[in-house]
Structure formats: structure tokens, C-alpha cells
Amino acid sequence: MMRRILAWAPLGALAVAAMAPLLLTPYQLTVATYIMLAAIVCTGLVLMTGVAGMVSFGQAAFVGVGAYVTAALSTTFALSPWIGLVAAIASAAVLAALIGLITVRMSGHYLALATLCFCISFYFLVGNAELLGRFNGITGIPPVTVGAIALRSEAAGFALVLGALALVIWWTRRLLASRTGRVLRSLRTGTVIAESFGVDGQRHRLIAFVAAAVTAALSGWLYAHVQRFVNPTPFGVPASIDYLFMTVIGGSGQVWGALLGAALVTTAKQELQGLLQPVFGATTRLDMLVFAALMIVMLHRARRGLWPLLQGLISLHLPAPPIVAGIDLPSGRARPTPGLPVLAASHMRRSFGGLVAVDDVSFDVRAGEILGVLGPNGAGKSTLFNLISGTLPRSSGELSFLGQPLASVGARDMCRRGLARTFQHVKLVPDMSALENVAMGATQRGHCGLAAASLGLDRAEERRLLGWSQHLLARVGLADKAWEAAGSLPLGHQRLVEIARALAADPVLLLLDEPAAGLRANEKTDLARLLLELRADGLAILLVEHDMEFVSELADRLMVMNFGRLIACGQPGEVRANVEVQEAYLGVAA
């Protein structure tokens, strides 16, 4: 019941907001319109900064692109504002794609600084362009017309902006809950998760950046036709910083944070000006100092912004969504015959400068077996793991998967071929539910992208992907934890979620990197039972472990590494009796 009320709450709020022109003074209505215009930009920033972990110091320039493109088209060329809208969005998208393509491969502060430089260039460019009216700007922009009605009044402008804001928020929330949205949400922790599950992380970073730019351009388009004139002032770096402050202060993690931040900062700014100007003179910008200080304190104390604090304050305990019905999707791959090699490596070698981390290692993993890899610290296990999973290129040697030779492939391609892995240090998206984390692994089993998610064409696929994820969660024994945030689960459960996520990719080979590390005894027993079941299903499992006892009991075969070399390989009994192995582990022959 509570859920149903909450689901309708935004619509109720929208209806109340639509009444505002009847209640507010014209001045208040204008302020409210500005707040909503800012909130549209901030919603894009939430997507980009809070969700995908990128920062832009140039968002105001994208607003400016939207405003100037439509202003020029609708005055100089006397085109309809609706053509201006398409052109505004297209220009911002192209510009963002260009800036993004150049910088997404590098770490985040380069993109941030590139946007900063873009914003400065844009400001001086439009400020000096004869065609765009230099610093005086463009006046006489026509209002938006719907049919024969021109939206000329303050109330009409308010309604237009309100509609756009509602649309942007609705779209962003829908996007975030989709397959593409899950990938975007994983990017805040880096691109490793996305790449390991067959998704192009850089491309999704670009998508988030372009989406934020397009949202900003929409706000610019609205601004131009509501305000009816543009000049360069509101599109400079200070405005960009304001947008960023609003987003961070409001709470960059959720869409509602954007609205909260825009409202708070806009009103606080006006109040502050009113307080400071009588004391310090009309030119004072000490309000900026207050915001800078507030921003720094927020970064120190509450980096996720005010919205989560507010949520905690009124302790809004949302009842969990209903558990999705599990669906056991049939495997989309041909299963190799048990006993035949899935992965074969011969004479693999990897050196880092003078250090040879993996030296002339040959082995194979067969379908329906568990191969344990043992070795003391620094033996080269992790490097071997990275060579197989495609994270590191090898220096020399051959590797083949399901009989096909692998020239040089990355993690993304290995996942598509049927390899899935877990991480030694758990890599889950902490604020995403366990179910959605598992669904992240199934990304390759779906096809719906941004467009399908926006139009709501992904419902059936989403039901299948989430059902499949729920099935796997049940399989690892966490059916009742589906909607809990992955970061709040105990370590043992997090490792199980990682295994479920790997299984969601429908693999033929499962790479497990120390899955038993940090588990309690009974948890280890459960894990062992699960692995044996998976083996019975015909999966090939490569298990890197420290825990000799755990591996020896499970594995069909063991291989032991020391100083980068393979020193023994065979039945657990034989290997344990091997003198060299005993020396490696105990220092002397027992």
C-alpha cells in the first residue's frame, strides 16, 4: 500500500506544482522557473557525476549552446523554435561527443578540465562573435508556440519548464533502472566491472556525458524562449560551478537531489545577496565565499549531499519491492563435452621489466572439472589469472578457448566468449541492490539500449534478466537478500553475489579468485557445495586459492606455482606428496 502511494507521489507533486501560477506572485513564479531550469541541468549532472562518476565544469556552456543555437535560428533565420530544439540538442550532442571522445580514455580530471577550457572558450567566442551580437547578445527571440497558441506569459513559461523538468526526471529515473542504467551506475567504481562483463565502459561514460550535455541544451532552449533574449553572462564558468555546487549540495546520487540542490542554492543565493549587499556594498560577491565554504565542508563531511541526510532524518523506510519471480533461462551457448579442454595455455610468459611473473606455464582446464591453482604469495597466481581473463596481455605463449586460438583479446571479449570471473577484492556496486548487481553480469544476455529504455520497450527483456538474476541469487542461497544494497551485505554474502553475477553471464569457464578468503567455516562448506553443483552442471572452474585444505578437497586436479613457474600439476594426492611443493610451502622437505 505504502509503495503504491509513494509511486504516485511524484505525479501528485506535479499536479500541485501545476497549480503554482494561481498561488505565486509573478516574481516568485519567475524564481520558480529559474529553479526548474537549473534543476534540469542538475539532473543531467546527477547522471554524469553522481551516477557515472565524471565531473563537468562546463555544463553552462552546453546550456549556452542550446540557447544560442535556437536564438540564432529563430531570429536570424526565422525558423520555428521546435526546429531550434532539434538543432540545439544535436549541436550539444555533437560537441559533447567530440570532447568526450578525446578525454574519456583518460582519468576523470582531464575531462573535467577539458570542459572547463571549453566553457571559457565558448564564453569568449560568443562574446566576440558579430553574428551572435557580441556581449550584448540576441534579443527578440519568439516564444514557443503550440499549435496556434504562443506561450508568452509567465505562467505559460512556468508550465512549459515544469513539463520539461517532469519529463527529464521521469526519463532519467527510467534510464537508471534499465540495463544501460545498471552499466552507468557501475562506472562510479571504474570501468573494470563493465569490461569484465562484456560491456564497453568507455562508451557508456561517453553516453552519460552526452546525455548530460543534451539535458543542459534542453534547459538552454527553454531559457532562450522563456527569457526571450540571451547574452553570454549566464553561460560562463561561474554558472557551471553553480550547477555543480547545486548537484553536490543537493545530493548527486539521486535525481531528487538535483531538484533539492537547485532550489536550495537558488533561493539561498538571493537571500544571501539581500543580507550581504547592505553591509558590504552592491558589488560584493561574498556569497560566493559562503558557497565555496559550504561546498568544501560538504566534501569533507557529506560527500553524497543533503538528500540522503534528509532521507535519514525523516527515516523514510521504504518497504522493499516485491521479490521478482525467478526464471531459469536456458543457456545460450553450446556446452562442451565434459572432459574436453575449455581453455588451453601453452608456454605462457609474462614479464614486467626484468621480473618474470609467469614463466613458461602450460596447462588446460576441462569442462566439468575444478582446477585448483595454489602457490605462496608472489608465485604469479594473480598475473596468471589476469592473463587468462584478458586483463593483461601476455608477453609470449599460446592461449586457446574452446579450441579457438586467442590472439590478443581484452576482458570484454573473453566474457563474450564464455568466461566469467570474480574478484579477489570484491568489486560490487555498493549502493545498488544485490539483484541489480547480479543483473549486471547478465548485461550480455540482453539487447535493449538507451532508446528502448527511453520508450519503455525493454519491459519484457528486463523481466527476463531480473528473473534470471533472482534465480541465480536463489541458487547461491541469497533469494531473500535481492533488494538489499550490495555494500551492506557481509563479506561472505558479497562473495556469493559475485559468483551469482559471474554465473549470470552464462559462462562455460568460471574463474574464481580466492572466493573463500574471509569466509567463516560454515560459509566455506556452503561455497564448496555450490561449486560441486556447478561442476556437475558441466562448468569448467578455475579456482585460485590460498587455503590448501579447501582446494584439495574440492579440486579434481591441482597446479602449484612458485616464482612464476609451474612446479607441479596433477591429482591432489600426488601434488601434496611432491617434494618441490612441500619445499615451496614449508621451506624444507617434510
Partner 1 sequence: MTFDIAAVLFQDGVANGAVYVLLATVLVLVFTVTRIVFVPQGDLIAFSALTLAAFEAGHTPGTVWILALGAALALILAGGKAAGERNLAGLASAALWFGAVPAAIVLTALFLVPKEAPLLWKMAVTCALITCLGPILYRLVFEPIAAASPLVLLIAAVAAHFGLSSIGLHVFGAEGVRTPGFAGPPLVVGDLVVTRQTVGVIASSLVLVGLLSLFFRRSLSGKALLAAAHNRRGAELIGVSATAAGRTAFIVAGLIGAISGILIGPMTTLYYDSGFILGLKGFVGAIVGALAIYPLAALGALLVGLVEAFASFWASAYRDVIVFTLITPVLFWRSLASPHVEEEAE
Q: Which residues contact partner 1 (rule: CB under 8 A)?
A: 53-55, 57, 99, 102-103, 105-110, 112-114, 116-118, 120-121, 124-125, 128, 188-192, 202, 237-238, 241, 244-245, 248, 280, 283-289, 291-293, 295-296, 299-300, 303
**Residue 48 neighbours by CB under 8 Å, 6+ apart:** 54, 55, 56, 208, 209, 211, 212
**Closer Cβ to partner 1, 53 or 572, answer by number:** 53
**Closer Cβ to partner 1, 182 or 188, answer by number:** 188
Contact 443, 199 (CB under 8 A): yes
Q: How many residues does the chain have?
A: 590
Contact 261, 42 (CB under 8 A): yes
Q: What's the min distance (Å) between Cβ of 361 and partner 1?
A: 25
By 3-state DSSP, what share of the chain in percent is helix, strand and coil, each rounded to 5?
60, 10, 30
**Closer Cβ to partner 1, 149 or 289, answer by number:** 289
Q: What's the min distance (Å) between Cβ of 122 and partner 1?
A: 9
Contact 252, 298 (CB under 8 A): no
Here the cell at position 65 is 549552446
Contact 483, 426 (CB under 8 A): no
**Closer Cβ to partner 1, 22 or 279, answer by number:** 279
CA–CA distance, 517 with 434 (Å, rounded to integer)? 20
CA–CA distance, 261 with 243 (Å, rounded to integer)? 9
Contact 305, 261 (CB under 8 A): yes
Q: What's the min distance (Å) between Cβ of 202 and partner 1?
A: 8
**Closer Cβ to partner 1, 121 or 267, answer by number:** 121
**Closer Cβ to partner 1, 130 or 332, answer by number:** 130
* Rg, the chain, Cα only: 28
Q: What's the min distance (Å) between Cβ of 105 and partner 1?
A: 5
**Alpha helices of 314-395 — where are they, by DSSP H?**
381-389
**Closer Cβ to partner 1, 116 or 568, answer by number:** 116
CA–CA distance, 483 with 391 (Å, rounded to integer)? 31
**Closer Cβ to partner 1, 112 or 150, answer by number:** 112
Q: What's the min distance (Å) between Cβ of 125 and partner 1?
A: 5
Q: What's the min distance (Å) between Cβ of 293 and partner 1?
A: 6
Q: What's the min distance (Å) between Cβ of 85 and partner 1?
A: 27
Q: What's the min distance (Å) between Cβ of 175 and partner 1?
A: 21
Contact 422, 542 (CB under 8 A): no
